[in-house]
Chains A and B, each alone.
Chain A
């Protein structure tokens, strides 16, 4: 019973070593993850440089109406924002995204999910706090 039992079962060593191993493991992991964004930035810079290198002359292609942002974002985001912004006035600022989805749905605006995602990606909608957003225009 008591300290004698701890010592008899190697308790002090197990506790000290256990704490040290867990701390070391998470310190190493935290150091590693603190470097990930630098590695990613480095990799992206390299890719950007490669993209800037003079490309071989190719036949001009017909320009496709590619969206300015990722995936299926519409090009005329600012115009769309002009449509969406008045809808949020009754909601006040900041507002919840689900409310914006709701009013957009009620107004029969097409593809509100994609459009709102694109607003966020373009920085037109910014997060004020947990789950609350406002317009940045």
Chain B
């Protein structure tokens, strides 16, 4: 009986935790994220499932029981299949398309360039990661964090460097949640008060026909250029045409509610679970976090600087703060730009314009992911 008891005790999580304190550290990180998501409301829709996944994924167990996310035939492994195949990110993009109103972008197509400019951060980070001796596929997966798009980062990493999904996804989502901390100092540093006070014209009304043509044109032009972006952009524009066509409202409603919510729960939870301490806590993860912060900052700075360059040629100047919303963190970065604009001039409403840049950032980061993937083929 004593031996049986000892055998049971050595199979408990308490025993394993006492052997390896990295699990405690990761559980504490999970609890911190839960606190940030619930109490501080930092991107709770993403952070709560991820945080809980971190806690669950770091309860140690006896390897070989078929319990963990990395063990074949475990329940969690099957759920994780949606991450490693890029299934969940594609479904999230479907819902995103069904939610997004591209009217403000259609009314001001020039703002699309800011979404493109912000992707420069991705490619600058690619250089940084290569310089730090990461393999090209790993460097590409790290660089896409600069797109500030969680599903895109996970999708590309699943294709190129699946062993890095945990740290890259956590970095991408953490920086998205930390937009209010990261972006404002960069925006303030790169713009003058006068520039931040520039008011934008009210966008014109956009006809329903235009909104309907856009997803068709978008999928043709973008996916013919970078077919590797099809799983993301194909689904994004499918969701959008469901919304804009007006004849399948039931499908659009399901896509923007039940479908995206289901995918988000599993995506967040599995990403959290993939941070098992023995796999996650490595020197590489730390470097990925540093490079992720660099990628995000460079993307923000690229957008702002490009907006200032555009102003050299435009008769009607645009507010350079909008460049910061060229990253695809919807709607966090648009909200931040709007708040900073209002801080300088309470009558300055930038939200609609910033959302235009945000939506072009979503398209831009998906193209960037497709381009990086095709480079690594």
Contact = CB atoms under 8 A, between A and B. Distances in A.
Contact of A22 (B124, B133, B217, B368): B368
B124 A30 contact: no
A121 B127 CA distance: 52
A48 interface: no
B103 to A, nearest CB: 11
Contacts of B112: 26-27, 29-30, 33
B259 interface: no
Provide the main secondary structure of the chain B interface: helix
B126 A18 contact: yes
A68 interface: no
A25 B123 contact: no
Contacts of A24: 225
Contacts of B209: 40, 43
A6 B131 contact: yes
A26 B124 CA distance: 19
B351 interface: yes
Interface string A8-38: 0111101111110111111111111110110
A25 B367 contact: yes
A32 B349 CA distance: 27
B217 A18 contact: no
Contacts, number: 121
B213 interface: yes
Nearest to A23: B116
A5 interface: yes
Nearest to A33: B109
A53 interface: no
In this complex, the member of A19, A27, A28, A31 whose beta carbon has the largest number of chain B beta carbons within 10 angstroms is A19
Nearest to A1: B133
B372 interface: yes
Given A15-B126, A36-B210, A22 B351 contact: no
A23 to B, nearest CB: 5
Nearest to B106: A33
B346 to A, nearest CB: 11
B332 interface: no
Contacts of B115: 26
Contacts of A107: none
Given A18-B372, A36-B106, A29 B123 contact: no
A130 interface: yes
Provide the main secondary structure of the chain A interface: helix
A37 B226 contact: no
Interface in B70-127: 105-106, 109-110, 112-113, 115-117, 119-120, 122-124, 126-127
Contacts of B130: 5-6, 9, 11
Interface residues of A, number: 36
Nearest to B365: A22
Contacts of B131: 1-3, 5-6, 11
Contacts of B127: 6, 11-12, 15
Interface string B205-234: 011011001100110011001100000000
A76 interface: no
A18 B122 contact: yes
A33 B225 contact: no
Contact of B375 (A6, A14, A25, A31): A14
A129 interface: yes
Contact of B123 (A9, A14, A31): A14
Contacts of B210: 33, 36-37, 40
Interface in A21-80: 21-34, 36-37, 39-40, 43
Nearest to A13: B375
B17 interface: no
B363 A15 contact: no
B126 A11 contact: yes
Contact of A33 (B105, B120, B204, B371): B105
B375 A130 contact: no
A43 B210 CA distance: 12
Given A26-B116, A26-B364, A130-B349, 12 more contacts: A18-B372, A21-B225, A21-B226, A22-B116, A22-B368, A23-B113, A25-B364, A26-B112, A29-B221, A33-B214, A36-B213, A37-B206
Interface of A: 1-3, 5-6, 9-12, 14-19, 21-34, 36-37, 39-40, 43, 129-130
The 8 closest A-B pairs by CB, nearest first: A26-B116, A30-B112, A30-B109, A15-B123, A34-B109, A11-B130, A6-B130, A18-B123
15 contacts: A2-B131, A5-B133, A18-B126, A18-B371, A22-B364, A23-B117, A26-B364, A30-B109, A33-B112, A36-B213, A37-B106, A37-B207, A37-B210, A40-B213, A129-B349
